[in-house]
Amino acid sequence: MTVESFYQKILNPPEPWIVSKVNLSGLGPRVNVWLTHEKHSFCCPECGVEAPLYDHMPERSLQHLDTCGRETCLYVALPRVKCPVHGVKAVAFPFAGPHQDVTNDLERKCIQATIANSQADIARLFGLSYDRLAGIMNRALQRGMSLMGEKLRRKRRIPPYMWYVPRGGWD
């Protein structure tokens, strides 16, 4: 088993995504994992209709859950499709939303940890900068606010930590 097939198994990305390269950076503290895709057409994120591949966005990195205590980053150049109705659009990536610099899995763990830990503890625990953690908290807050609505939150005086709703809801 190669290190790429190992990460393919543990990350288990949905089709058509595959782990194309893994760099363990020697004995350094970080594991870098590159994901790519096999097929050449994707669905338009606006209408869901399959559209031909147009190009790829610049490569971006996403901090993921650690692997055996080593910080793990995913790298991907997201494909863009050319939809006849909506024009050129970046496709949805299963591991993160369009404006995230951390994966959904890491974001979910951080949000769950907010219940019993200070933000300083969470940043230290997950190896996150305060800016990155603030981004996670803000996205969770926006999701929570959109689910509950500002009126309901004010009426019931729900404490701030209850606003945080992870993507896909609580497990």
Residues near Zn ion (CB under 5 A) are: 44, 46-47, 83, 85-86
Query: By C-beta, is 49 or 134 nearer to Zn ion?
Result: 49
Query: By C-beta, is 53 or 141 nearer to Zn ion?
Result: 53
Tell the smallest beta-carbon distance from residue 40 to Zn ion (Å): 17
What's the per-residue H, E or C state across the chain? CCHHHHHHHHHCCCCCEEEEEEECCCCCCEEEEEEEECCCEEECCCCCCEEEEEEECCCEEEEEEEECCEEEEEEECCEEEEECCCEEEECCECCECCCCCECHHHHHHHHHHCCCCCHHHHHHHHCCCHHHHHHHHHHHHHHHHHHHCHHHHHHHCCCHHHCCCCCCCCC
Tell the smallest beta-carbon distance from residue 46 to Zn ion (Å): 4
Query: By C-beta, is 24 or 47 nearer to Zn ion?
Result: 47
Query: By C-beta, is 70 or 86 nearer to Zn ion?
Result: 86
Tell the smallest beta-carbon distance from residue 55 to Zn ion (Å): 16
Tell the smallest beta-carbon distance from residue 44 to Zn ion (Å): 3
